[in-house]
Amino acid sequence: MAATQADAGHFLAPPGGCSEVKVTTVAPDHYKVESTQQVGTGGYYLLLKLTGLKGRAVTIDLCGAPFDGWGCPVGQYGYVSDLGQLAGFESPPEPATQPAAAASLPVSSASAPVRPEYRARPRTGDLAALPDTSRQAWHFFSGVHREPGTLALKQTFTEDTAYLAFRVPYTPEYNQNYLARLLGNPNVEVIEIGKSNAGRPLQLVKTRGTSEDETRKPCVLIYAREHCDEQDSSWIAQGAIDFLASNDPQAQALREQCTFLVVPLLDPDGAVAGVHAHIISGFGPGDETPDSLLYAAWFKKWVDEGKRLDIALNLHNPPLSAAFHVACPMMEPELERLGDCMALHASVRGALTAAGYQVRNTPWTTGHLTPRLCGWLAKCFGTLPLPYEVNSATPKRQLNLAEVRGIGRAMVLGSAQFVSSDPGKTLLAQVDEVRQRRSAGWTAMAGRLPAGNPIAAEVLVAQNVSLAAKTIGPASAPAPPPGKNIRAEVSDAPAGDTR
C-alpha cells in the first residue's frame, strides 16, 4: 500500500491548519499512521489516499494525537480517484433520510457521560449499528478497534485506489461541479457573488422567484464552511439544495412559501489551503477580507432591494467524539431573541428527530457571533442567527452520506415551519423593525459612512441606531468609532465543542 498526501487534505487540527501524516509499515498489509506535528486532541478530520490496494486485507493503525482523542468512530473509504468528480459521491436519488430503526439500535455499553453532551465511546466500534451503504460510493471499514493510543481499521479492498476519510470530503472543485449541474434547474438558480481572492467562484444557490416574491416571502439562509475544513456541513447544505431543487411536492410548497439561500462552501480558498479558520472573522470591522466584503456587498444589496433575510443557519462540525448528530452551540442572549432562537431550534429539532436524528435540546451557551457572517447579518439586518454543530460519527449511530444529506432536508422543513408559525411571524415583525431603523440610520448618516466597505458601514449604522434607541435621542446621534471593541462581543462554544 502506498499512502500519498499530495492531493489529500491530510488531517486538520485547530486552531492551525493542515497537518501531514507519516505512514510506516509495521508488517505486510499492516501500516501505522501518525501525525507529524504535535497537535491537540481536537483534530478530527482525516483524508488519506491509498493505492495498490486491490485484493489486500489491510490494517491501518492511527496512532497518537489527535487520533487517541477520537473515541472509536468507524472510518469510511470510497473508491474514488478524483475528489472533484461527482461520480465519487453519488447516492440514491431519494436518500434514506430516516436513520433506519434508530430507536432500536443498541446503546453504547459505556454509561457515565464525560460531560452532559458527551459519552465515552465503546472500546470497539459497534459495527452492527452502521447504516447500509450498499448503494452508495462511500463505505465503512469492516473492522475497527480502539486500544490505548491507537485506533485500528481493517478492510479488504476490491479496487486499487481509495480514499480513507473520517468525514467524507467535500472539495471546492467538487462544489463547482455540483453547482454546474444545477444550471438550468427550473427550481433553483446558482448565483456567483464574485471571485475569491485566489480567483475561485463564491457561489450561492437561491430558490427561483421574482423580486416581488423575495420582498414578500420569509427568507432562510443556510451556509456551510465558515470553518473551511468542516466537511459534514457542506453535505448538509447540499442535501438542502437537492431537496429544494427537486420536484418533490413538499419542496414545491416550501418554495412557494419561502425564499431559500444556500451557500455550500463559504470559503473555497481556505478549504484549498487546508486551514481551519480563514474567512470566519472577516465580517468584523478591521478584519475584512476581499471575500467577506464581496459577500457583505451582496447581502447589503439584497436588503437594499427590500428583500427579506430572516434566518441564518450556520453549519459546523464538532469533534468526532460528540454524542449527537445535531446541536446548537449558541443562541443570542437577549430574552426576546433567545425566545426566537429557542422556537426556531424547536422547529428544526422537531423535523430532525422525526427523521430519526439525535438532536440536543438546549444550546451550550448564549452570545453573539458578531464578526462572522451570521452575526453581522444579525447585528445589521436583524436576521436571526442559529449555528449548528453536525456530527456524522456519533457513537450510537454513524450516518452514511445520504443520511448526512438528509439533515439538510430536515433543516429546510423545520426552518420553513418556523417562519410560518406565530413565533416566526413575531420574528418577521422584529426584523421589519430593525430594517426600518437601519434605513433611517443610513439616511441620518449619509455621507459619513465608509464607501466600499459594507461591513464597516453597516456596523456603524447599527451602532448608531442602537445608541440612538438607548438615549431616545435623534437617529443622527454621533456614531461611535469603529474598532476592535466590537470583537468583545464575540464568544464561542466551549473549547473543544465548536471548532
In the complex, the residues that contact Zn ion under the rule CB under 5 A are 227, 230, 316, 499
| CB 404 to Zn ion: min, Å | 16
| CB 200 to Zn ion: min, Å | 20
| CB 456 to Zn ion: min, Å | 25
Closer to Zn ion by Cβ: residue 271 or 477: 271
Residues listed for the chain: 499
| CB 52 to Zn ion: min, Å | 35
The residues that bridge with 194 in the sheet, in sequence order, are 202
Closer to Zn ion by Cβ: residue 216 or 487: 487
Please, are residues 145 and 172 in contact by the beta-carbon 8 Å criterion? no
| CB 329 to Zn ion: min, Å | 9
Closer to Zn ion by Cβ: residue 14 or 95: 14
| CB 385 to Zn ion: min, Å | 14
| CB 292 to Zn ion: min, Å | 16
Q: How far apart are CA 376 and CA 458, in angstroms?
A: 9
Supply φ then ψ for residue 354, to 5 degrees.
-60, -30
DSSP states of 346-404: HHHHHHHHHTT--B-SS-SEE-B-TTSHHHHHHHHH-PEEEEEEE-SB-SS-B--HHHH
Closer to Zn ion by Cβ: residue 14 or 414: 14
Coil, helix or strand at residue 78: strand
Which residue, 301, 325, 307, is CA-closest to 315? 325
| CB 280 to Zn ion: min, Å | 8
Nine-digit cell string for 5: 498526501
Closer to Zn ion by Cβ: residue 227 or 308: 227
Closer to Zn ion by Cβ: residue 68 or 492: 492
DSSP code of residue 75: P
Cβ burial of 30 (10 Å; 0-12, 13-18, 19+) is middle
Closer to Zn ion by Cβ: residue 138 or 223: 223
Closer to Zn ion by Cβ: residue 15 or 483: 15
Q: How far apart are CA 178 and CA 434, in angstroms?
A: 36
Which residue, 88, 72, 79, 161, is CA-closest to 120? 72
Coil, helix or strand at residue 3: strand
| CB 387 to Zn ion: min, Å | 8
DSSP states of 436-473: HHHHHHHHHTTTSS-TT-HHHHHHHHHHHHHHHHHHT-
| CB 231 to Zn ion: min, Å | 11
- Tell me which residue has cell 472577516: 282
Which secondary structure element, helix H or strand E, spans residue 239, and what is its range? helix 231-245
Closer to Zn ion by Cβ: residue 363 or 441: 363
Q: Strands of 311-316's sheet, edge to edge?
A: 188-195, 201-207, 259-263, 219-224, 311-316, 384-390, 326-327
Closer to Zn ion by Cβ: residue 139 or 227: 227
The residues that bridge with 2 in the sheet, in sequence order, are 51
Coil, helix or strand at residue 333: coil
| CB 383 to Zn ion: min, Å | 19
Please, are residues 63 and 93 in contact by the beta-carbon 8 Å criterion? no
The residues that bridge with 322 in the sheet, in sequence order, are 118
Coil, helix or strand at residue 424: helix
Nine-digit cell string for 381: 439586518
| CB 322 to Zn ion: min, Å | 12
Closer to Zn ion by Cβ: residue 295 or 302: 295
β-strand pairing of 384-390 with 311-316: parallel
Closer to Zn ion by Cβ: residue 131 or 387: 387
